Amino acid sequence: MVLSDKAFHVPDLPGFLRKLETHATVDLRYLKLYVDNSPFFLEGEKHKQLRDICLRYLSGQGLKELDDVISSQTGVILESLPSAPFDAITLIGKPVFTLIIKPILGLRPAESDKFDRLAMVLQRLIEPMLSLNNLARINSELEWLTHQIQRQFEKEPSPGGVLARLMADEETPLSGEEKIALVITLYAAVAPLAQTLCNMIDVLYRNGAPAPCEPAQLLEQLPFYIHQGAAPRFIHRVASESRRIGGVAIRQGDTVMIDIARAALTEAGPPGQRLRHYSFGHGAHFCIGAPLSKRIVSEFIPRFFQQFPSLRVIEKQYDENNHIARALTSLIVSPDP
């Protein structure tokens, strides 16, 4: 109900930053640059413009052109997996970033590990009530991320990938800095994929090896596993009007956090029931990285299951300090003979 009610909108972080500027002397230029080029925080024409730009490269024919990279690099990851116990976070989650997502987006920072760590700071922007000191630190980290990619282009003007094509597109009404910010935002938007993929492996083998099935059957079940393994915890909306939902009074300006794990419906439809979940959001703010994420998952999971029809989860540990995502810090699995 909240997600389809126009009285609820995404958090107005751009407006908040503009107000903050009038009362504080701290420099938030890069934070504003990223927020103004992040579809998640926008409504209206600018939001639609950025979505159209992203989906031009990461859906439809643009996504089809990425098939060879996704298929071949998935094979590289699977071939590296040992027959002895291994940590899926290290050997699957991280390589998804470095071998698939980065080449697709055309990101080749010199300090790759630090870049990955700091890029995730964009996920933290959805947390309410961040202090001024935290915002200033995030601004500094976003400045560093931007300079990393600017230096990449100085050394390698045509690295390939989405960013190079976007930078060469003179008809796109964005500056060079805005294009870099948009692609790094895309990178952060697809980041939950690596977390979700490992969560899905945990769900798939949690109660022992699943029943043998053909890849086509597993693909039919992917919506269930995506929902069960989705890394994001909440969808955030802000009430622009007072509402009463399920006996709960919601005042104008209140933030509503929708629990993604519980927000799911089972709908009737041919050939049977269909799971409707919100792991990628909903409506106009449906995740711009969803088509790419689904394509990678649909390539990886059936091939992983074919390679490891029998697997045991030996040990797992969650990041207890991550309040916005269900992120495993380790997932030790053992292939059974």
142 in a domain, yes or no? yes
Structural domain total, the chain: 1
5 in a domain, yes or no? no
245 in a domain, yes or no? no
CA–CA gap between residue 199 and residue 204 (Å, rounded): 9
Domain assignment of residue 99, given as a range: 12-232+284-335
- pLDDT value at position 268? 47
What's the token pair of residue 174? 């964005």
- CATH number of the domain within which 87 lies: 1.10.630.10
What's the token pair of residue 117? 């760590």
6 in a domain, yes or no? no
Assign 337 a pLDDT band (cuts: 50, 70, 90).
Answer: low
pLDDT digits (tens, 9 = 90+) for 137-149: 889 999 999 999 9
Burial class of residue 5 (count of CB atoms within 10 Å of its CB; 0-12, 13-18, 19+) = middle
Neighbouring residues of 111: CB distance < 8 A, sequence distance ≥ 6: 148
* Mean pLDDT value across residues 10-18: 79
Q: Write the DSSP symbol of residue 11.
A: -
pLDDT digits (tens, 9 = 90+) for 66-109: 999 999 999 999 999 999 999 999 999 989 988 999 999 999 99
Going from the C-alpha of 29 to that of each of 14, 133, 186, 204, 272, the distances in angstroms are: 12, 14, 19, 44, 51
CA–CA gap between residue 29 and residue 36 (Å, rounded): 11
24 in a domain, yes or no? yes
246 in a domain, yes or no? no
274 in a domain, yes or no? no
CA–CA gap between residue 69 and residue 103 (Å, rounded): 8
- Partners of 264 in the beta sheet? 277
Between 76 and 195, residue with greater pLDDT: 76
Contact 266, 38 (CB under 8 A): no
pLDDT digits (tens, 9 = 90+) for 204-218: 888 777 777 777 777
272 in a domain, yes or no? no
